[in-house]
Structure 1
Amino acid sequence: MAELSTDWGLATLDLLSTAAPWRTFRWYRGQKHYSGTYWSATECAHVIYESRLELARLLYADFDFAVRRIVPQPFLLKATVEGRERRHVPDFLLVDADGPVIVDVKPAARLDDPKVRFSLGWSRKLVESRGWRYEVWSEPPAVELGNIRFLAGFRNPRHFERVLVERIRLDDLVGLTLGEALSVDIGVAAALVRATVFHLIWNRYLTVDLDEPFTGSTMITKGPRQ
């Protein structure tokens, strides 16, 4: 794909939303980062990441039903700051109902590094000068991440029968425990019911407390998506 250069103020959201990742995978002996591809339900396609922490941010974006687009490494940002040309590639562009969000993923332990603070600082100013949001994202709570990672195993709609999904979605599971919902007898295999319930939770039709490990007594409430 051809490289396109333009002024920052002229880089439209439509243009950036269709951008290919700026970098290709970097595989080399002894590398510190774990790179890979993640199949995104939001994009219905694979999205690349360059670290386990970036993968975690991908999971959160994919789980957020308000996020409509996930674009990895959407552009190379160049700017003259303090007399020198600076270069920075953000990790993700997310587009939700409120517009674009430029995301940089950084471990919390690196946020006090002067070079990191400087880079993130001028990047934030340029992004926010457009009226766009800018986010620096670090390690999430371990239990919450574990729960979202588990639910992501049920994200692909191609693995579920639409009729069964709608049938269970329309059943009144709100107010039941997770154990009760997974034991609902509707004349199909228990494994299918179990998978479909978790698929509905992933898609936010149903909600559970993500701050605690899932158990049979975890309560199901109404989700934000209808």
Structure 2
Amino acid sequence: MKAEDFWLEYTDARGEVHGGPVEVMWPTRFEAAGQVRAFPSYRGQRNFSGWYWAATCSELVGYESWVELGHLMRLDAEPDVLAVASQPFRLSWRCGGRGRRIKHTPDYFVRRRDGTAVVLDVRPDKRIEPEDAVKFAATAAACTRVGWGYERVGVLDPVSVANLRWLSGYRHPRVPGTGRRRSAGGIQRATGAAGGSSGGR
């Protein structure tokens, strides 16, 4: 795909929509942008969405499943992560020359302390359909063009998730005498001892 094939749209903090080629829009601080889409809610819904208070950026960050929540807690525990944004932008590209455009909204945009960025898609291996694989590959290609990292992750080890959930509670401001610096090391030691795994939604 050519560079002009990729188009990016995002919603700023005031709710205004902006769009342009990826190679023009990439300097945007997507970690401070609003969600480009709302989480669906309907009767019989199988996944659970919600909001997680992230100590890293002192903000609520959305998630659409327990698997996403696990990775959100993992990112919040990593010392080199500066901020995380949910549903940061919508990416689209042409399919078959000038035919229809395919759209995809990544799950998370991660800004690291050195200024670099990583785009994250969360999806369990067993739930990746051929169409999903195409979208993930195209998103990875778009990220490569602008120097972003890209990861498609799956289900975390349940013991690691349990440790992250327990330890993350102590980083909330309602707990006196706790904070990011004090708890990050403990979280790393606990989750490291439990063992990590890759895996998504």
- TM interval, shorter chain, is 0.7 to 0.9
- 2:122 corresponds, among 85, 95, 105, to 105
- 1:141 corresponds, among 134, 157, 162, to 157
C-alpha deviation, 1:145, in angstroms = 1.4
Q: CA–CA distance in 1 between the matches of 2:176 and 2:81?
A: 22
Q: Which residue of 2 aligns with 1:120?
A: 136
Say which one has the larger Rg: 1
Q: CA–CA distance in 2 between the matches of 1:50 and 1:57?
A: 11
Q: CA–CA distance in 1 between the matches of 2:140 and 2:50?
A: 27
Q: Which residue of 2 aligns with 1:37?
A: 51
Q: CA–CA distance in 2 between the matches of 1:139 and 1:207?
A: 18
Q: Is structure 2 residue 63 aligned with structure 1 residue 49?
A: yes
Deviations 1:98-119 (A, max 9, x none): 40000000012123x2111111
Q: How many residues of Structure 1 are paired with residues of Structure 2 in the alignment? A: 176
Counterparts in 2 of 1:8 and 1:51: CA distance versus 1, 3 Å: same
Q: Which residue of 1 aligns with 2:19?
A: 5
Greater fraction of residues in strand: 2
Q: Is structure 2 residue 192 aligned with structure 1 residue 204?
A: no
- Structure 2 gaps of 5+ residues are 1-14, 195-201
Alignment of 1:1-226 (within 5 A): 1-83=15-97, 84-98=100-114, 99-111=116-128, 113-161=129-177, 200=182, 202-204=183-185, 208-210=189-191
Q: CA–CA distance in 2 between the matches of 1:55 and 1:206?
A: 16
Counterparts in 2 of 1:157 and 1:13: CA distance versus 1, 3 Å: farther
C-alpha deviation, 1:63, in angstroms = 0.6
Counterparts in 2 of 1:211 and 1:16: CA distance versus 1, 3 Å: closer
Counterparts in 2 of 1:22 and 1:207: CA distance versus 1, 3 Å: closer
Given that 1:47 and 1:71 are in contact with CA atoms closer than 8 Å, whether structure 2 keeps it comes out as: yes
SS at match of 1:79: strand
C-alpha deviation, 1:14, in angstroms = 3.6
Q: CA–CA distance in 2 between the matches of 1:49 and 1:40?
A: 12
- Structure 1 gaps of 5+ residues are 166-195, 214-226
Higher relative contact order (CA 8 A, sep 6+): 2
C-alpha deviation, 1:44, in angstroms = 0.6
C-alpha deviation, 1:17, in angstroms = 2.6
